[in-house]
């Protein structure tokens, strides 16, 4: 009789651990979802400017609203376009501004700047 009680106790404890582990993973998933919702989203702006040149392999100087600005870029299409572009070229581009670090990254370079 003691043997059966011991086996039953072990089975109950095992089931408790398994169910407890499942509940913990649900809680972790909910916490991760909440953290992702709280992260600030990056803002995308469309700007016009005058390309001045590349500072290095992943950043360029562009005059926007009369002020020289440095912009990062990591897209291969943008890189190849800047490599062949002449200084003084008018460009239109999309910049993603990281809400936390305020880093400005060029994510798209348009074929021709907007008129007006």
Question: CATH number, domain at 90?
Answer: 2.40.50.140
- Asked if 59 and 92 sit in the same domain, the reply is yes
Residue 53's region, left for phi above 0, alpha for psi from -120 to 50, else beta, is: left
Give, as one character, the DSSP assignment of residue 114.
P
Residue 19 lies in a domain: yes
Q: Are residues 48 and 100 in the same domain?
A: yes
Instruction: Determine the pLDDT at residue 24.
Output: 53
> Same domain, yes or no, for 48 and 60?
yes
Read off the pLDDT of each residue in 88-111 and give the average, rounded to a whole number.
94
Residue 26 DSSP class: H
Per the prediction, the chain carries an average pLDDT of: 83
Q: Which residues pair with 67 in a beta bridge?
A: 64
* Domains held by the chain: number: 2
Two tokens at 112? 């021709």
Is 67 contained in some domain? yes
pLDDT of 88 over the 90 cut: yes
Is residue 71, in this structure, part of any structural domain at all? Answer: yes
Higher-confidence residue of 97 and 4: namely 97
pLDDT band at 65, cuts 50/70/90? very high
Distance in angstroms (rounded) separating the CA atoms of residues 10 and 102: 56
Q: Is residue 11 part of a domain?
A: yes
Range of the domain at 33: 1-39
Note whether 52 and 31 are same-domain residues: no
Query: Per the structure block, which two tokens stand in for 87?
Result: 């200084």
- Assess whether 47 and 92 both reside in one domain: yes
């Amino acid at each position: 009789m003691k043997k059966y009680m011991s086996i039953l106790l072990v089975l109950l404890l095992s089931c408790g651990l398994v169910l407890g582990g499942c509940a913990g993973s649900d809680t972790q998933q909910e916490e991760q979802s909440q953290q992702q919702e709280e992260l600030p989203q990056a803002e995308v702006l469309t700007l016009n400017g005058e390309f001045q040149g590349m500072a290095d392999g992943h950043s360029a100087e562009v005059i926007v609203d009369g002020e020289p600005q440095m912009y990062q870029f990591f897209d291969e299409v943008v890189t190849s376009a800047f490599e062949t572009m002449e200084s003084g070229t008018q460009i239109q581009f999309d910049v993603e501004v990281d809400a936390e670090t305020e880093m400005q990254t060029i994510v798209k370079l348009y074929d021709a700047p907007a008129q007006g």
